Amino acid sequence: MGTRDRQAKLDNSALEMIRSISDGSDDLLQQVVALFIESTPPLLQDIEAGLSNNEMDRLRVAAHTLKSSAANLGASDLCEMARRLEAAARAGSLSAELPSSAAVRDEFDAACRALEAELNRATQ
């Protein structure tokens, strides 16, 4: 399976928490996933610009928002990447060990594939 086909590992407890809010239905989960897919690309653009231009505030805010969104949907690896970027931006120190914007985008894509597969499994 190539990187374009890879699905992120999801923390199912986060997904089950959302399902429990809507009495086990996937309606709310579908809405939250759709919002995540729609609202994340501008954050990824801000992360890329923040990294490229050393705009620490821009990077910090985008990474913080992405961290929270990813955690809410159980995308733990994406959440961790965003956490590391947020901490570096807060400290004002970007290093080579940080995830690149391309790596964050790839992990977002993998998380989206996993979330869509989860929703498809639930409707079958």
pLDDT tens by residue, 20-30? 998 878 899 99
Evaluate whether 46 touches 62 at the Cβ level (below 8 Å): yes
Q: Is 67 helix (H, G, I), strand (E, B) or coil?
A: helix
Sole residue written with tokens 């955690």: 71
Take residue 103 and report the two structure tokens written for it. Answer: 């790596």
Q: What is the pLDDT of residue 68?
A: 97
How many other β-carbons are positioned within 10 Å of the β-carbon of residue 67? Answer: 22
How many other β-carbons are positioned within 10 Å of the β-carbon of residue 78? Answer: 27
Residue 3, pLDDT above cutoff 80:
no
pLDDT tens profile 14-66: 999 999 998 878 899 999 999 999 999 999 999 999 999 999 999 999 999 99
Take residue 73 and report the two structure tokens written for it. Answer: 């949907």
Distance CA 66, CA 73 (A): 11
Record: fold of 12-123: Four Helix Bundle (Hemerythrin (Met), subunit A) (1.20.120)
Domain ranges of the chain: 12-123
Q: What is the pLDDT of residue 124?
A: 64
